Amino acid sequence: MQSLIIYNTLAREKQPFVPIEPGKVRMYVCGMTVYDYCHVGHARVMVVFDMVQRWLRASGYAVTYVRNITDIDDKIIRRAVDNGETIGELTGRFIGFMHEDADALGVQRPDHEPRATQYIPQMLGIIDRLADNGLAYQASDGDVNYAVRKFAGYGKLSGKSLEDLRAGERVASNDAKHDPLDFVLWKSAKESEPEETKWDSRWGKGRPGWHIECSAMSCALLGEHFDIHGGGADLQFPHHENEIAQSEGASGQTFVNLWMHNGFVRVNDEKMSKSLGNFFTIRDVLKVYDAEVVRFFILRAHYRSELHYSNANLDDAKASLTRLYTALKDVQPDGQPLDWDEAHAARFAAAMNDDFNSPLAIAVLFELAGEVNKSRSGALARQLAGLAQVLGLLDRAPQDFLHGAVAADGLQPADIEAQIEARRAAKQARDFAEADRIRAALLSAGVVLEDKPGGVTEWRRS
């Protein structure tokens, strides 16, 4: 099998993947800030890195996958105060909703899912080391800040120079930072904030800044030097840049070998975001589209490309996934193990080993589906199902998908079966006009009928 190459944001090129420890992969991905429902942008991060960890495991690696939860920050505090509830009540509820959404999308749970509030001592430990190394200072307002200009490698991930970052900056007269580029490591407690947001430290009561949270959680669970760090492209700067500065400034060694970033989700040629108000929550989308359709929609775009969200693109994804399931409807896989030496599997593996090229891998699935339709081969059906399942697709009975769990028209399977029976009775009575009317009515409701030999009628949602 061809060796894996991955695009490394830090190097700005594809590179052969060589794990630090042979046969093992340690991977950290920035997860959700849990104060609201997850949107399609979050879905992309979850599905993309679920695909990555699935392929690493399928390739024989022992993977330790960590995806964190940010359960303390300014937005969480404001929302909890506005709701008149505790931080824990708010975050606990939305963590539950996040798990429901991820489970629906076929996203496997990470090996570790740390919450920021569980790692305050580790964060303070890193801050202390940074202070000892001359990279952190306590400002006059009580906040502890990172001295960006004292870290020689700052900007190496984003490609931004300090001069570029400094351009246009102005130091406000009341700004306690030594430099506008400095970022907060520890926020001094405010009297107006809830007591549950205040932890004791040598710097006084306070809470962590956002960036230090991921440095602490990743290093605690994976070590101070690990293989892969991932997240959305919006996190490349400043979040991931600051993680490098903190982690390497504290440890004195390389933090992460390979950085991966998935592309933006766009709506009407704008980035999907809560700030722009153009986001769609996962659970709202799942009221209209089957969750596997959404997963397929995400995976058929390369993870580094932009993903253009629209009903038309989701409808096309639904039609495409229907073609794959239809190929398996009448041809049972032969029950043998997936054969990686078979030609289609070899092309699938080559695609995935080329920077997780899921669109090309999915194209191989369509080649297989076409051959299954022609040959009715159980061996090829097995290859189709087995390869798709590596991506978290085609893992249920075809009829379950084709009959559909999502029916915007309100037609349930029992209603459809009743209409099929009425059509059968009309044909027996030679009332062909009524039989045609029933077929047309079902078709307009998104239900396609297929008459089979022996008087059997099968149906699927269009």
pLDDT in tens, the chain (462 residues): 579 999 999 999 999 999 999 999 999 999 999 999 999 999 999 999 999 999 999 999 999 999 999 999 999 999 999 999 999 999 999 999 999 999 999 999 999 999 999 999 999 999 999 999 999 999 999 999 999 999 999 999 999 888 888 764 544 434 789 999 999 999 999 999 999 999 999 999 999 999 999 999 999 999 999 999 999 999 999 999 999 999 999 999 999 999 999 999 998 777 776 666 777 999 999 999 999 999 999 999 999 999 999 999 999 999 999 999 999 999 999 999 999 999 999 999 999 999 999 999 999 999 999 999 999 999 999 999 999 999 999 999 999 999 875 554 567 777 888 888 789 878 888 887 887 898 888 888 878 888 878 777 878 876
d(CA 210, CA 183): 10
The whole-model pTM stands at: 0.90
Taking a C-beta distance cutoff of 8 angstroms, is the pair 388, 379 a contact? no
In this structure, are residues 134 and 147 in contact, taking their beta carbons and an 8 Å threshold? yes
Decide if 17 contacts 4 (C-beta within 8 A).
yes
Amino acid, single-letter form, for residue 454: G
Report the alpha-carbon distance of residue 274 to residue 71 in Å, rounded. Answer: 18
Q: What are phi and psi of 380, to 5 degrees?
A: -70, -35
Q: Do domains 5-266 and 316-401 have the same CATH topology?
A: no
Alpha helices, H only, 235-286: 241-251, 282-285
User: Where do the structural domains in the chain lie, given as residue ranges?
Assistant: 5-266, 316-401, 413-461
DSSP 409-449: T---HHHHHHHHHHHHHHHHTT-HHHHHHHHHHHHHTTEEE
Give the DSSP H or E segment for 177.
none
8 A C-beta contact, residue 98 and residue 191 = no
CATH value of 5-266 in 3.20.20.80, 3.40.50.620, 3.40.1390.20, 3.10.310.30:
3.40.50.620
Out of 1.20.120.640, 3.90.1300.10, 3.40.50.1970, 3.30.70.20, the CATH code matching 316-401 is 1.20.120.640
Q: Which has the closest alpha carbon to 118: 91, 138, 142?
A: 91
Task: List C-alpha distances in Å: 53 to 56, 67, 379.
Answer: 5, 11, 27
